[in-house]
């Protein structure tokens, strides 16, 4: 599913979701698959994921108020 900012900038495609099982809700959307290594996973969470609290709408596309801190296409 495509992800765009509310200003219309394409961020990427939702590749995976991190779910808080205790809270029963999505906490992050990943725009890349989560790597296996601990350091690589931390970097991906920081640079290639979007906090779900920044999601404004989910319909045919996902609209977010802001994307990852660092984004490279």
Check residue 58 and give its pLDDT. 95
Tens-digit pLDDT profile for residues 18-71:
999 999 999 999 999 988 899 999 998 989 999 999 999 999 999 999 777 644
* pTM metric for this prediction: 0.81
Interatomic CA distance for residues 17 and 62, integer angstroms: 13
Q: Do the beta carbons of residue 52 and residue 26 sit within 8 Å? A: yes
Domain ranges of the chain: 2-64
The CATH number of the domain covering residues in 2-64: 2.30.30.240
Check residue 71 and give its pLDDT. 44
Interatomic CA distance for residues 62 and 3, integer angstroms: 5
């Amino acid at each position: 599913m495509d992800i765009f900012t509310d200003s219309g900038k394409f961020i990427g495609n939702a590749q995976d979701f991190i779910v808080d099982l205790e809270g029963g809700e999505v906490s992050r959307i990943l725009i890349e698959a989560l790597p296996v290594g601990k350091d690589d996973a931390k970097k991906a969470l920081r640079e290639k994921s979007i906090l779900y609290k920044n999601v404004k709408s989910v319909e045919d596309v996902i609209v977010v108020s802001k994307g990852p801190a660092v984004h490279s296409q």
